[in-house]
Amino acid sequence: MTKPYSRLDLDQAVVLLVDHQAGLLSLVRDVDPDRFKNNVLAVADLAAFFRLPTILTTSFEEGPNGPIMPELKAKFPDAPFIARPGQINAWDNPDFVAAIKATGRRQLIIAGVVTEVCVAFPALSAIAEGYEVFVVTDASGTFNEAVREAAWSRMTAAGAQLMNWFAVACELQRDWRRDVEGLATLVSDHIPDYRNLITSYTALRGGMPASRPAA
């Protein structure tokens, strides 16, 4: 059964960055490590660009999972940061759920490590409570492609939508004219080929086209 197209909404979306920790990052093998880090930082940048509420969480930092990526803490110094003492499923931590509910938003953009646990468990729990869940596939990583595919199947069967970070950015943007230069910079910073495209376009036009204020 197909579901109606439900688009990301700037006024309803909140970004959840789950367990992007030093120890867990070493487990990611389904994406090239440098590319994976780039994708995670792209999600952070789009969250900041669109001024979306962002919640950071880690699990058992004093254990082998290790500390969160320092770039994320630096990017969101004032964001809720939930250091879970032991809960594997972030949704089992009341402070994490309370931080989400405090935003008043119903669309969850989630990325994390590892996909089948740190992403899938809270995603499935949130869907069960009536939230819309959008999983950022290329900013979530795990042991191998087979594990990833199984996790994706489990989440989509429950109603999660799978997107990459570029699609998330474009769906939130809706219209290039909303902020041409801003979106072009965001994308160019994380996709070298797109930077070449923008460089060529800028040279031909003699500068970036004028953008209009955000609606």
In what helix (H) or strand (E) does residue 164 lie, and over which residues does it extend?
none
3-state secondary structure 67-111: CECHHHHHHCCCCCEEEECCCCCHHHCHHHHHHHHHHCCCEEEEE
Cα–Cα distances in Å, from 202 out to 160, 166, 176, 187?
38, 21, 15, 15
DSSP state letter for 141: B
Give the rounded distance of the alpha carbon of 53 from its chain centre: 12
3-state secondary structure of 32: coil
Which listed residue (40, 46, 118, 136) is catalytic? 118
Look up 118 and say whether it is catalytic. Answer: yes
Positions marked active-site: 118
